Amino acid sequence: MSGIQKRSIDLIHWFKSLKKTDRLLLVGFLIAVVLSVFCLMLIPQFFYQTSKIQPSDDKQTQAVIEPTYRHPLTGSLLYEEKISLPQVFSVMIDNHEDAWPPSGLEEAFLVIEAPVEGGISRTLAFFSNEQEVEKIGPVRSARPYFLDWANELDAVYTHVGGSNAALDLIASGGTFDLNEYWWGDYFWRSNDRYAPHNVYTSTKLLNEYYEFREEQGKTPERLYGFWKFKDPESVPTVVSQIHIDFSTPVYVVDWVYDSQTQTYTRSQFHQRHLASSGKQINANNIAVVITDIDVIDSIGRREIRTLGEGQAIIFQDGQMIKALWKKSSHTERLAFYDAQSQKEIFMNAGVTWIEVIESEDELMYQ
């Protein structure tokens, strides 16, 4: 008989020798020990499962957190504040009928349209270094008043030559300039159009130009101001159509408000204004600036007052707001104020078009 068998028999005899009450107590004690060991084995697994579930709960909590910051240029909602201001590129885009359709104009977050000679309008389109726009143009020549609107955003002012007055102002400093005549590597000429309506650039090339000038220490500090923004509102439509007459029938502009998309769609010469991508140009705000415009030479070039203040009309959410525009200096941001309350108007997040005209007679709306 082995030692183990002998010890087992002795243990059985010892157990039988115990009183019945003692045997019940012993059995109860052993059951308690077994249950305690079992619980101790389960507790770590319980905590492990809890730790696995906890991140999921965190994700659900994060999902309900609303964005609270606004993009400084578009007003779009962000979860994190922009630490540094985006670099802005402004591009003179041709609006001559031989230059239709434009490229990239539908991607601009801000467009300023103003008259030039010949009863034609020209646009200054603004993009940021965060955008990817493969083709922008046709790029055309500079005019003095567009410089003030570019400078207020510390923007690269992109153009092909310009009037003598504009080039003299650029030469005097203060404008972050990109002239195709001197920096042709950052442009290309298309073979499917005739000059001067065939010069193009892209945000990739504009970023490369900025990086090159930054390496040279030639980039200005970005200090531009911000508009106040809000989200589009669903309110009853009061004004659904806006008509702007730039003096030549082929360049008349119409904006129509679409309450479903809460945007204004653009037409030119009574036809949908399409970009080369096939997209119709639209906006979330239409700001009409009324200011002094004078013809200064036999060619018909204009002088437009950009500083000071004047009458304005803001169209957003199908509403019309009588307003004032104010711009105190060449580098100060153009802003709009309610004519009655004198408070700055909150612009809808998204795209804004500014239409510059001489008289309210050039504007009709209904």
Q: Do 107 and 43 belong to one domain?
A: no
Domain membership of residue 258 (yes or no) is yes
Of 135, 110, 157, the C-alpha closest to 287 is 110
pLDDT of residue 51: 41
Does any domain span residue 106?
A: yes
Same domain, 40 and 94: no
pTM of structure: 0.83
CA separation for the pair 328, 351 (Å, rounded): 24
Tell me, yes or no, whether 152 and 105 share the same domain: yes
Any idea which residue has 């490369």 for tokens? 208
Task: Centre a 10 Å sphere on the Cβ of residue 319 and count the other Cβ atoms it contains.
Answer: 14
| CA pair distance 129, 133, nearest whole angstrom | 10
- Size (the chain), residues: 366
- Given a contact cutoff of 8 angstroms between Cβ atoms, the answer to whether 324 and 309 are in contact is yes
Does 83 map to a domain? no
Please give the pLDDT value at position 65: 82
In a domain, 77, yes or no: no
Residue 118: per-residue pLDDT: 87
Same domain flag for 57 and 100: no
- Do residues 128 and 198 share a domain? yes
- Contact criterion met (CB below 8 Å) for 268 and 252: yes
- Domain end, chosen from 62, 79, 102, is at 62
Q: 275 and 355 share a domain?
A: yes
pLDDT of residue 221: 95
Q: Report the CATH number that the domain containing residue 167 is assigned in CATH.
A: 3.50.90.10
214/284 same-domain check: yes
Token readout for 100 is 């239709």
* pLDDT score for 27: 55
State whether 103 and 196 are in the same domain.
yes
Chosen domain end from 45, 62, 79: 62
In a shared domain, residues 101 and 36: no
Q: Is residue 316 part of a domain?
A: yes
User: What is the rounded (10 degree) CA torsion for 336, 323, 289, 242?
Assistant: 120
Q: Establish if 72 belongs to a structural domain.
A: no
Number of independent structural domains in the chain? 2
CA distance 281 to 279: 6
Do 148 and 219 have their domain in common?
A: yes
Q: Are 321 and 345 in contact (CB under 8 A)?
A: yes
Token pair belonging to 97: 């009928």
Domain containing 35 equals 3-62
Residue 333 lies in a domain: yes
Same domain, 43 and 190: no
Residues 207, 128 within the same domain: yes
Mean pLDDT of the chain: 89
HSE, CB side, 13 Å, CA atoms: give it for residue 32: 6
In a domain, 146, yes or no: yes
Residues of the chain with pLDDT under 50: 15, 37, 42-56, 59, 61
Give the Cα-Cα-Cα angle 117, 118, 124 (nearest 5 degrees): 50
